[in-house]
Amino acid sequence: MILGIGIDLTEVDRYRFDERGRAWFARKIYTPYEMEYAYRKRYPAERLAGFFAAKEAARKAFGFAIPWREVGVIHLSSGKPTLTFTGKSATLMERVGARSVHLAITHTRESACAVVVLES
C-alpha cells in the first residue's frame, strides 16, 4: 500500500556555487557523501539539484519537514539512488509504518526532478 508520494522540481542554476556559497549550503543541506559524490562528477550542480529535489520530495511524501542533513541520497551498488535517514530521523520509516522507500531522480542542464514513494 502506498503511504505517501512526493515530487519536486528545481532549477540547476540555483546550485552553482562559489566556494563560500558551497561551504555554507553544504553545511546546511547536504551530507558529506552527497557533496563528495556530486563533485566527483562532471556537472556537480546537476547532482546537487537532484539531491535537493529528492530531499524536498521526501518531505512531501512523509507530509512533514525532515531536517535537511538527516535525509540523504546514497547509491546502491547497482547505481540506483535511495534515501537514508540519520539522527533523530533514523527511525522515521518505522514510525510512519513504511517498509520501503522508492526514489527516482532525473536532471538536465537546466532542471532536476525527484519522486519519492513510501510503501507499507
| Burial of residue 42, with CB atoms counted within 10 A of its CB: 0-12 exposed, 13-18 middle, 19 or more buried | exposed
* Cell numbers placing 55: 530531499
Residue 60 is a catalytic residue: yes
Q: Which of 28, 41, 55, 60 is an active site residue?
A: 60
Backbone angles phi, psi at 64, to 5 degrees: -160, 165
Three-state SS at 115: strand
Enzyme catalytic residues: 60, 107
